Amino acid sequence: MTNVQHTRTGTAKVRTSSLATRLFVSATAWVVIILALTGIVLSSVYRQGSERAFDRRLNLYLRTIIAEVATPDSTPDQFQSLGEPLFDLPLSGWYWQIVRTDTDKVDPRASRSLWDRKLPKLEDQGVGLSAAGIRQGYVDGPEGQTLRMVERPVDLGIDGKFVVTVAGDASEIFEETRTFDYYLAGTFVALSIGLLLTTIFQVRFGLAPLKRISESIADIRSGRAERLEGEFPVEIAPLARETNALIDANHKIVERSRTHVGNLAHAIKTPLSVLVNEASARPGDPFAAKVLEQTEVMRDQVAHHLERARIAARVSVIGTVTEVEPVIEALCRTMEKIHRDRDIAIDITAAPGAKFRGERQDLEEMVGNLVDNACKWTNRRVFIEARVERRAGSDPTPQLRIVVDDDGRGLSAEERAQVARRGQRLDETKPGSGLGLSIVVDLAALYGGGLTLGNAPIGGLRAELVLPAV
């Protein structure tokens, strides 16, 4: 049950981290998309505004030229420059041109800047007249410049039909738009950084209460705390409250289980004692002897299974932690006194700070059985090692590994399988009931661990116990 709780806690922790990552990535993606779309729209709007301003300037020149053309006594020199020196500078990119369309015998009039070149017609490029009666668009100029051009047909009746064209260097529009894009990009980069930092801040501190709950649950599981303590936001407070209620309910269930186990023990032991007493009063009766034999078996079975139930109830308690090194040292001192006459040397190597996630009496019972068994079978030396390891793979759960070696005769594979079974003894001359290793196996299994028997490097039996650690 403890392992299940640990696994669920670990999963919740991973999901919290994944949620923070998903929120950050989602927020970043939306910021980038929104700013990119906004930049495209603003750049397009600014470009259109620059074109309109440029077109107004061209239309002003166009109307001036049309007014001069419509004046009968006008001469080309009167409106040659239109107040713009660039119309006099050869191939400057600013041009005007007047072409008579009702006859082919009249040469077009043009600005000095056009030199001996001619401007293309927008009409020939398929550009239609606007509602104002003009055509406008981009064309290639004499020197390869991109020109913004406006063109208008003019009908002066008997004085002729004309097409008046004014063109300006479109690089002004492009440069203004490019400069605006640079400033806009710089502004949006700074804005993006600010928004991302704000998002990181919000995600980090917004999910901090969940992280604090995860860490508090880990503290409860490892025995450093008993409940979720502290103030939580109103959105998280119900979760903390329900978690504490679940912990309280767990403790109550364990207490009720212990009470039921005790009641059951008393209820069963009383009738068994009556049977033993009645059978003992008839020493010569074969039937009484059989009853005594079976009641001993029943007592053994009841004691075994009640002990397992008691241990299972203890294992389900959250937050129980035991220091490993003091337990092993105390057991070794006891074994040295018991086997004083044999002069057994017990060497201990225990990792400082190693902790067992469970009850002290259970650790004492498991390790005590292994050390006692090693002392019974050893010749001179027993070696004990305790260390904490991390599981391989994605599961970071720590595990406690306790190795007990002796330099006795050791066991074959068949013998190792036999002694792990309950009540099996290989040598009746050694004291004991044959229940030691089976109790260790059962206890370790209840804690999600296990016991492995093998050959020790120093020549005898190696017992390797794996249990949950902190």
Per residue, the 3-state secondary structure of 285-299, as one string, reads CHHHHHHHHHHHHHH
The CA distance from 372 to 382, in Å, is: 10
For residue 392, what pLDDT is reported?
67
Structure tokens at 336: 């040295």
> DSSP string covering 227-271, please?
S--S---TTTHHHHHHHHHHHHHHHHHHHHHHHHHHHHHHHHHHH
Rounded to whole angstroms, the Cα distance separating 343 from 166 reads 117
75 CB-contact burial (10 Å; exposed 0-12 / middle 13-18 / buried 19+): exposed
What confidence score (pLDDT) does residue 231 get? 79
pLDDT score for 431: 43
Measure the CA–CA gap between 271 and 261, rounded to whole angstroms: 16
The beta strand positions in 67-122, using DSSP E, are 95-100, 109-110
pLDDT by 10-residue block (mean), the chain, 470 residues: 35 48 77 88 93 92 85 57 80 90 77 87 87 91 89 87 92 92 91 84 77 79 73 80 83 75 73 82 82 80 67 59 91 88 89 87 89 89 91 73 91 76 45 60 85 89 90
Contact criterion met (CB below 8 Å) for 436 and 372: yes
Residues forming beta bridges with residue 165, ordered by sequence position:
97, 151
Dist. CA 36–CA 92, nearest whole Å: 37
- Residue 184: the pLDDT is 92
Q: Return the pLDDT at 186.
A: 92
Q: Global pTM? A: 0.46
3-state secondary structure of 6: helix
- Report the distance separating Cα 111 and Cα 35, nearest Å: 45
SS3 of residue 140 by DSSP: strand
Q: Say how far apart CA 422 and CA 426 lie, in whole Å.
A: 12
How many Å apart are CA 149 and CA 138, to the nearest integer? Answer: 6
Q: Which residue, among 168, 127, 166, 163, has the nearest Cα to 147 in the 3D structure?
A: 168
